[in-house]
Amino acid sequence: MDIREIQLRVNNGFYLTKRDAILHAIKEGFARQDMVDAIISGQVIEEYPDRNRVLVCGRTTLSPQVTIYLHVLCEYSDPVYIEIITAYIPDTSLMKGYGKALLSIEGKEGNEHE
């Protein structure tokens, strides 16, 4: 599924947040709105078509001084709702493969995330 369709549904409130996503949010210190913000600002970095899922990487602002990347696993099998399966703050030391995706989200040149 195209990221724009996922973003449109989420932006219009057509999403459900699963238990695992809420538990990760509590554990890692972010909120449901941060998941939404990450989807709206993000892009697909992995696709799982056999499970009707995509992994989205996007940015969210936790406070005026703290902006983070968030990975959000979204399922699109329902014709109306996007299901937020899980969300987590990625380990940046393991993100070398996603450097270009992160840089294109930021709109910056360089390799600060690689």
Residue 113: inside a domain: no
Would residue 111 count as lying in a domain?
no
**Confidence class of residue 83 from pLDDT cuts 50, 70 and 90?**
very high
Mean pLDDT over 2-19 rounds to: 97
Residue 108 has pLDDT above 50, yes or no: no
Which is higher by pLDDT, 63 or 13? Answer: 13
Query: Considering the domain boundaries, does residue 93 fall inside one?
Result: yes
Task: Write down the pLDDT at residue 65.
Answer: 92
Residue 11 belongs to some domain of the structure: yes
Dihedral sign for Cα 7, 36, 107, 75, please: negative
Query: 90 lies in which domain range?
Result: 3-106
Domain count, the chain: 1
Q: Is residue 78 part of a domain?
A: yes
Determine the pLDDT at residue 22.
Answer: 96
CB 57 within 8 A of CB 49: no
pLDDT in the model for residue 90: 93
Alpha-carbon distances, residue 21 vs 35, 63, 101 (angstroms): 9, 20, 22
Whether the predicted pLDDT of 93 surpasses 80: no
* CB contact set of 36 (below 8 Å; sequence gap of 6+): 10, 11, 15
Query: Using an 8 Å Cβ cutoff, are 92 and 78 in contact?
Result: no
Taking 60 as the threshold, does the pLDDT of residue 47 lie above it? yes
Q: Which residues contact 34 (CB under 8 A, 6 or more apart)?
A: 25, 60, 62, 70, 87
Going by pLDDT thresholds of 50, 70 and 90, the confidence category of residue 104 is: very low
The residue-averaged pLDDT of 45-74 equals: 96
